[in-house]
Amino acid sequence: MAARLGLATLDRLPAACRPRYDPASVRVGIVHLGLGNFHRAHQAVYVDDALAAGERDWAICGINLRRREPVERLQSQDG
């Protein structure tokens, strides 16, 4: 079984897949309604680039108003 993605398993990922910043150093600056694929593939990528560039006040807090399943999956990954 593959290890679940989370803060404790980041060191197992190739360097190119790990955050380029300390996840503990960021603060939420964006509240995003919905946890969909489009958001994660587009907006979240740009925010990740900003965090890596030193803009630590722009972490995303995802809010899901519909199903519990996506929230539970992300929580299991320290999200």
Indicate the pLDDT class of residue 78, thresholds 50, 70 and 90.
confident
Which among 3, 53, 57, 67 has a CA at the least distance from the CA of 25?
57
**pTM for this model (two decimals):** 0.75
Q: Which long-range contacts (CB under 8 A, 24 or more apart) does 64-67 make?
A: 64/34, 64/35, 65/33, 65/34
Q: Taking 70 as the threshold, does the pLDDT of residue 79 lie above it? A: no
| Digit-coded pLDDT (tens) for 1-14 | 677 888 989 999 99
17, two tokens: 């897949």
Calculate what percentage of the chain has a pLDDT beyond 90: 52
- pLDDT higher for 16 or 1? 16
